[in-house]
Structure 1
Amino acid sequence: MATTPSFFSVLMILLGLWENVSAQSGGKSLTPENYWWTCPEAEAIVFDGVARAVAQDPRMAASLLRMHFHDCFVQGCDASILLDGNATFGEKTAGPNNNSLRGFEVIDSIKTELEFACPGIVSCADILAIAARDSVVLTGGPAWLVQLGRKDSRTPNRKEANEKLPPPNSDVGKLIRMFHDVGLTEEDMVTLSGAHTIGKARCSSFRDRLQSQPDPTLGNRLLTSLKQLCGFNNTNPLTNLDLKTPITFDNGYYRNLPSGEGLLRSDQVLYSTDERTKNLVEYYIHNPEAFFHNFKVSMIKMGNIRPLLGKDGEVRRHCRFPN
């Protein structure tokens, strides 16, 4: 049985990656050592908080990883997703996030510990980035050195949250365009989609694939089980994105696609409708090490989307509210 890695073991892996990942980032503003002197225990505090949450609820790893993604795609990696709002203000209640994103209380708890250890030092945006990495590690995925030094925004962007996050029924062309809009490539898109190897989705995210004329890219076995699960009523149950290894970060997401077992349309189209993306999917099926390596690179790249630096932002004392 696999054991949960300790922060010390992860730190040893990260130190071994120092030269490689630092060179890949190419940036001078965000650096892995940002808190080494001002809050040296910062990453250990985040790791412990994520580990506790995942031990209590294994699905939380996917939720925290997804939260970082939804933050970065909307006005950059600035923790705007964490700001409380209401039905007309804030990103939490935007269409792609409302009653869907979860894990805010985990970030709140980690932030409270960090404010006690080193007040006013560690940004909420950096907590999200570290927590995403730790979620991958705790489910068996690769480790990488997170580039740090982001500041937090003072305002959310509900409009961007409704427009910039890829819908689950997207085709390949739309996915590529939306990733290009934030500076990510077609390869980044296919690679980061592999995060769906963990986590769950509600029937509302794929119910349109089950109608009287089912999506032809949907495998018969999966179609039958999803019709039984979802039916055509008002219930909205959850099911695993990866049917075989749903709480293990591996290349299972890609291995499911040739048999039509990509849960979301935006997953299955990567294999079934476009040769450009199909070729990379097949490569990852046969080369899990390449997927792990490229996932690290793409996560670092995503974490560098429009960060707030210096006086452009603040370090929030509470992640739900501006100072």
Structure 2
Amino acid sequence: MVKANLIGVVLLMEVILRFGVDGLSMQYYMMSCPFADPIIKNTVNNALQADPTLAAALVRMHFHDCFIEGCDGSVLIDSTKDNTAEKDSPANLSLRGYEVIDDAKEQLEQQCPGVVSCADIIAMAARDAVFWTGGPYYEIAKGRKDGRRSKIEDTINLPFPTFNASELIRQFGQHGLTAQDMVALSGAHTLGVSRCASFKSRLSNVDPTLDSDFAKTLSKTCSAGDNAEQPFDATRNTFDNFYFYALQRKSGVLFSDQTLYTSPRTRNLVNGYAMNQAMFFLDFQQAMVKMSLLDVKEGNKGEVRGNCRKIN
């Protein structure tokens, strides 16, 4: 009887560790795929050593995934003759890093087939990319299932680079994220670049919130065409608070960046993060954890794709 009770306790503990209270758990893969974390981390680290610019791409992919249909890997699905998927939306055409997710998924399928979701791989890859570039490390619960829907029309719900602070606050608020969360998450623009097509309207209309010398820099960038790239701050591959310094100098690349400093509703947050990088890191960690839980699919509401690019 004692042995039977002990076995029952062990099995119960495994269920709690794997599934937690709400289906997600920090140790979700501890029994079913114990090497999931190191496999994803090593895959991301190797990819970033070869191409550091992929860090920004992986973080952006996670954001674009979570804001459409929740954090369910829907952004990874390829279009078919019967359906144009999210990744072929104009807002997503510049997304990169799919091969990193594919690489991690292939290794995980060899180790523990049908266990680790593509949605979890994206969330964990973004986390590891932030840390690799010098940002804070944060842990996330796992157990997301992959969604079965990916439609181009849903991407209308992504924030536009022309949004002002009020529009950004409203849109993030629809996902349960606060103004502070929004500004902290915008700080991810400390990594990466923007293409001229996303900010050239600021040049033709002489945006008064744009520093005149920086406007000349942007104009020079755009002279190479709509796909020419402009770093968001001076350290494009390092996760720091330089992005917020840029906003203070009226050198935000996108209108939706600079509006965070222009607006009285968010200016104090920008100043705080520019002055205190540790505070930015802490708030960013918390905001990323919140975002990673947006509308996650659990149980039979989703699946674990064998191939991240197509529904099972």
TM-score by length of 1: 0.88
* Structure 2 partner of 1:254: 244
Stretches of structure 2 that go unaligned for 5 or more consecutive residues are 1-19
The correspondence for 1:90, drawn from 72, 85, 89, is 85
Query: Per-residue displacement from partner, 1:160-218 (whole Å, max 9, x unpaired)?
Result: 21x2100111111111111011111111101100000011111001010111x311111
Q: C-alpha distance in 1, partners of 2:129/2:69?
A: 23
CA contact (8 A) 1:271 1:281 kept: yes
Alignment of 1:134-213 (within 5 A): 134-161=128-155, 163-211=156-204, 213=205
Write the deviation string for residues 17-71 of structure 1: whole angstroms up to 9, x where unpaired.
xxxxxxxxx9733211101111111010101111111111111000000000000
3-state secondary structure, aligned to 2:194: strand
Compared CA separation, residues 284 and 27, structure 1 to 2 (3 A) = farther
SS in 2 for 1:276: coil
Question: How many Å apart are 1:293 and its aligned residue?
Answer: 0.6
Instruction: Say whether residues 1:314 and 2:303 are aligned partners.
Output: yes
- Quote the Cα distance in structure 2 between the aligned partners of 1:269 and 1:235: 22
What is the aligned partner in structure 2 of residue 10 from structure 1?
none
State whether residues 196 and 225 of structure 2, in contact with CA within 8 Å, keep that contact through their aligned partners in structure 1.
Answer: no
Partner of 2:64: 70
Is the 2:195–2:226 contact (alpha carbons within 8 Å) kept by the matching residues of 1?
Answer: no
**Range 185-194 or range 150-159, more displaced:** 150-159
Please say if residues 75 and 157 of structure 1, whose CA atoms lie closer than 8 Å, have aligned partners that are also in contact. no
Cα shift readout 1:265-313 (whole Å, capped 9, x = no counterpart):
10000001x1120011111111111110111110010011000001111
Structure whose CA Rg is larger? 2
Give 3-state SS (helix, strand or coil) of 1:292's partner: helix
Q: Give the percent of matched residue pairs that are identical in Structure 1 and Structure 2.
A: 46
Letter in 2 for 1:90: A
> In structure 1, what residue type is equivalent to 2:51?
D
CA contact (8 A) 2:197 2:226 kept: no
The CA deviation string for residues 119-147 of structure 1, in whole angstroms up to 9 with x for no partner, is: 11100000000000000000000001111
Runs of 4+ residues over 4 Å off in structure 1: none
Is residue 231 of structure 2 the alignment partner of residue 240 of structure 1?
yes
Instruction: Assess if the C-alpha contact under 8 Å between 1:143 and 1:296 holds in 2.
Output: yes
Displacement, 1:158?
Answer: 2.1
Aligned to 2:17: none
RMSD of aligned C-alpha atoms? Answer: 1.4
Residue of structure 2 in register with 1:11 after alignment: none
Shift of residue 235, structure 1, vs aligned partner: 4.5
Partner of residue 218, structure 2: 226
- Please give the alpha-carbon distance, in whole angstroms, between the structure 2 residues aligned to 1:226 and 1:160: 31
Alignment of 1:282 onto 2:271:
yes
1:208–1:86 distance in 2 versus 1, CA, 3 Å: farther
Asked if the contact 1:74/1:157 (under 8 Å) is kept, the reply is: no
Aligned pair count reads 292
CA contact (8 A) 1:142 1:292 kept: yes
Distance in 1, matches of 2:21 and 2:264, equals: 33
What secondary structure is seen at the aligned counterpart in 2 of 1:314? coil
One-letter code aligned to 1:286: M
